[in-house]
Amino acid sequence: MGRGRLAWLGVLAGCTDGPDMPPLPHSVSMVLETVDEQVVSLLAAVQPNDRGRLDVRVSEGVVLPGGGRVVLVSPSHGGWAVGGALTGRSVPLSLPAAPWRLARVHGGFLWFSGAPGLQRCEMSTASCTPTGELPPSAEVQAAGPEFGFRVSLDEAGHVYVLLPRHEGNGEGERVASDVQRIVSVRWLVDAPEPRIQEYLDRTFRGRADFIARHLDVALDGRLGEWEEIEPAVVDAPWQAEVRQGWHGPADASFSAALAVDGDDLCVAGRLRDDRRLDGDAVVVSFEGERFTVPVAGDSGTARVRREWFGWSYEACLGGIALEIDDDTPVVVSYRDADGEGLASVIATSPSIGRWAVGRVERLP
């Protein structure tokens, strides 16, 4: 997928601590329950990315990196299952899924709550036994290894991570929405060992932030006016939200950039698809709303242009810019129909349940 005039990929920049700042941990791992009762895990790299924000990655289930291992916990075959992600093996826990909800993750144990009481399950043996109480846990306010670190959940269901580098008395950086409770928080001081990091890079889907500049968009499928805007690139396995039928970048991959033109939110990028069908579409999602841009041909709001590598696309959504502020979670995805049943979906950011971790920052 050549670069063309619209750049394909940014370079992540590192960050060093200030002279009076305590050493930052490597990352923070959280287990969250969303308002639609999905249990998801979130891993936030504390070192900010080139946008100056935390690099957030999300996966379904529960992921606990550290100690040379990764553990997945998820509903499975009418019950709960625990397994080592690196080996691919999964062992059913000795309790069903229906009456139990995950209540706590601590050390090598999981606690489940339900009408019958509490069950404590050991990860290494997958055995569960009744227990009388939960271990102590700061679920909502979780202090980090030094002063100034905090994870918080507000009444609106937003999760924030506060670091010492955040100035003033703000809440920190919002990393998730539509969350009803924090199940577990764990600060990771050291970087995972290489094979664990490789697994996280392969499995987790990274967050892409957008800077939405004001731009006079000529809706013609030519991307000359977009050349100064760095797009997000989607071409990797961990960016596939629905992987069935997706066979890699040659099958379907794209880039996406956002801009504001008056009251319109405009999206543009380049697209590669080995079989472009009527059901193929770019989808812009935020705050539970979805706006579909068919790319099989031109429409009243979109233009598609054939280029040497595939296609360029450009679309403007009328009035949508009025609904986006400086901290709106946004996901741009591509739905590849391919005529093989369930469409595969690749996306700039995770979108699990009704919330997403991608962001739009509007520049004046």
What residues contact 288, with CB distance under 8 A and at least 6 apart? 354
DSSP string computed for 141-170: SEE-SSTT-EEEE-TTS-EEEE-TTS-TT-
Q: Residue 321 carries which side chain, given as an amino acid letter?
A: A
Q: Tens of pLDDT along 176-199?
A: 888 888 888 888 877 778 888 888
How much is the pTM?
A: 0.76
- For residues 214 and 137, which has the higher predicted lDDT (pLDDT)? 214
Q: Tens of pLDDT along 239-293?
A: 877 766 778 888 889 999 999 999 999 999 999 888 777 778 899 888 777 888 8
- For residues 207 and 117, which has the higher predicted lDDT (pLDDT)? 117
* Residue 6: pLDDT over 70: no
Inter-CA distances, 18 with 23, 65, 165, Å: 9, 27, 9
Biggest distance spanned by C-alpha atoms of the chain: 66
Nearest CA among 282, 290, 259, 288 for reference residue 360: 259
Q: What is the pLDDT of residue 149?
A: 77
The label of the residue with tokens 């055995």 reads 127
Domains in the chain: ranges and CATH: 27-202 (no CATH), 207-362 (2.60.40.1190)
Q: What is the rounded average pLDDT of the residues 87-97?
A: 85
Q: Tens of pLDDT along 11-67?
A: 222 233 444 545 667 888 888 888 878 888 888 888 777 667 788 888 777 888 776
